[in-house]
Structure 1
C-alpha cells in the first residue's frame, strides 16, 4: 500500500555547508532524491505558506508582535551594522544585534523625528524588529531583503529611482544620528558591533488570508511564526521536547542553525526522528526523502 501520509519536514541550512563527515550525509546516502525546493529563506517560506493579496513581511511581523498592523501599510526597519571598506560599504548584520529593549528604544528615540517629518512613524516592535508605519498614499520602491544584501556591496541594494532617492536621504540622516549615538561608543568598548543603520525591507499591508498545508511548525523564527498565526497553524518553540513530539505533516525549522550544532547537541534528537518518513529540504534547494526502511540500505556510502 502506498504511503499517503505527509512526511515530517526538516528545513535545513544550505547543503554545501555540510562537510563529508557530517552525520546527516549518511542519511542522504540512503535517501531518495526528490524534486528541488525553492532556494533561500523567503522563497522557502513562500513554499510553505500561500499569501492571498501579497506577501508583506513587515506587516506580518508587526501584527504578530503588536497586533495593530491591519489599519496601515508597514515597512521593516531592522537595526543593522554596515562596515565601510575600500570599495564602499557592506551589510554585515541585520537584526540579532544583541540589543535589550531599553537599548533599542534609546537608539530609536533620535530617529523618530526623521520619520515623523516624512509623515511616518518609527515603532520598536522588539529589540530586533523595528517597523515604520506608512501613510496611506505611500509609494515604495523595491527594497532588497536582508538575505539578498548580507555581505554584499551596499550600493548594489539601495532603493533606486525618484522614490528611492527620498529613502536614501532618510537613511543617510539615520546613519549620521546613529554614528553619533553614545550607546554605540559603549558597544565598541564592549567589543560589540555598532548599530549604525537600519535595513528597510518587506513593505506592504497584511495579506487578505494566509493558507498552509502544514499541520504544525517547530520554529523560533518570527516571520514563520507570523505566517503560521495567520494561517491557523500551531507553532511550538524549538526545543528538544517539541522536536520529539513533531508528527507527520509538521515542519521543523533548522535552517538558521550552524551545521556544527546539528552534528552536536541537536543530533541525538534528530536521529530519533528517523523512525518516520522525513523530507530533508535544504535552504539551497536540494531535497531528499528518507523513509524508515531506508536504514536497510547499509551498503550505500556517505559520499553525498
Structure 2
C-alpha cells in the first residue's frame, strides 16, 4: 500500500525556536524524516494543494465554493452550474492600525444565528441580485447573477493576518470593497452581536469573500481511498468519485479498514494551532500523532505492510515532502535528528 499523509503545520512556523520542541518524544517521526527522500517547493494553502492534487485548475480563484456546494447544498435544488462565492463569517480585531482576522476556529456560531445574520444581509442586497445562503453554520455562500471580475484570497491564508492590503483584486474590486465595508456596518449594528458580546462571545462583525468560481469538469484523483474529517477534502472525494472515510483514531484502526491501493490521509489537527500560535495545544497534538500514527506506520514499514509512505508538510515557509520506502530503512548513515532542524526556513 502507498500512504500519503497530508499534515499542515507539522513544523512550528517560527524558525529559530528549538525550545518549542523540547522534551517531546518523537523518535518514530524523526526516523521517518531522516530516512526519507526530501523535496521542497513554494508555499501553498491547503485548498490550493488539494485542488492541484485533484487536477482542479485555478479560475480567478481556486474554485472552493462550487466544489463545496456539492457537499453543503446536496439535495437542496441549487443551480450548481453557475458562479458561486464563499462568504464566511469572521471576527475582525483592530490592533495598532492593523485589522486582524479570526475564523470559526476561535468562535462558535449556530446555524440559527447564521440564518439571522444572512437574513439581514439579504434584505439589504437582494435588490442587487446578491443572495447569501448559510448552508452550514460557518460556511456561507453567495449566488451572483454574473461572474464578477474579482480575485480573492483563501480564508485559510488570512488567519491572524492584517487584511488591510489583502482585500479582493480585479476590475470590480472597488464595488466589492464597498460591499465589504457595508456588511461590517450592518453586522456591527445587529442585535445578535450585542447578545453575543453580552455572553462573552466574539462578535461576527465581518465576512470573508473567497473561493469563487464555476464547478470544474473532470475532477480526478490518483488516490483509491481518502481518509479525512477536512470538509474540502471530503467534497473533492465526492466530486472525483473516490471513497471517503472519516479519519480513524489511529493508524492501527486505519489498517483494519484499509484495502490495497493508494491512500490519502489528512491529519490537520496541528494546522489551526500553528495559525493561532497555540504552542501548548500544538505540542499536545503532535505527541498524539507520534503515538497514534507515526509509531505504528513506522512498524508497518519495517514489516513491509506499506510499500511507500509520503508525508507532505504545508507551512507558511513552503511545502516539504518526505518519501520513504522499506529500503530506506537501511540508510544507516541517515541519523535521526530533532524536528527543529526540519522546521527551519
TM-score (norm 2): 0.77
* RMSD of aligned Cα (Å): 2.6
State whether structure 2 residue 52 is matched by structure 1 residue 47: yes
* Aligned partner of 1:19 among 21, 36, 39: 21
Of 81-90 and 35-44, the range deviating more from structure 2: 35-44
Residue number among 121, 131, 134 corresponding to 1:124 in the alignment: 134
2:321 pairs with 1:287: yes
User: Counterparts of 2:56 and 2:137 in 1: how far apart (Å)?
Assistant: 26
How do 1:1-304 and structure 2 match up within 5 A? Answer: 7-17=2-12, 19=21, 21=24, 23=26, 24-34=29-39, 36=41, 39-51=44-56, 54=59, 55-67=62-74, 68-93=78-103, 97-135=107-145, 137-160=146-169, 162-240=171-249, 243-244=254-255, 245-246=257-258, 248-257=261-270, 258=273, 259-270=282-293, 271-274=295-298, 275=300, 276=306, 277-284=308-315, 285-292=319-326, 294-295=328-329, 300-303=335-338, 304=341
User: 1:247-276: per-residue Cα shift (whole Å, max 9, x none)?
Assistant: 541111013435434433343331212212
Higher alpha-carbon deviation: 169-178 or 46-55? 46-55
Distance 1:156 1:38 in 2: 19
Unaligned runs of 5+ in 1: none
Q: How far 1:187 sits from its partner (Å)? A: 2.3
SS in 1 for 2:288: coil
Gap regions ≥5 residues in structure 2: 13-19, 274-281, 301-305
Shift of 1:59: 0.8
Give 1:95 deviation, angstroms.
6.7
The answer to whether the Cα contact below 8 Å between 2:149 and 2:171 also exists between their aligned partners in 1 is no
Q: CA deviation at 1:82?
A: 0.8
CA contact (8 A) 1:95 1:128 kept: no
How many residue pairs align between the two structures?
Answer: 298
Distance in 2, Cα, partners of 1:51 & 1:160: 22
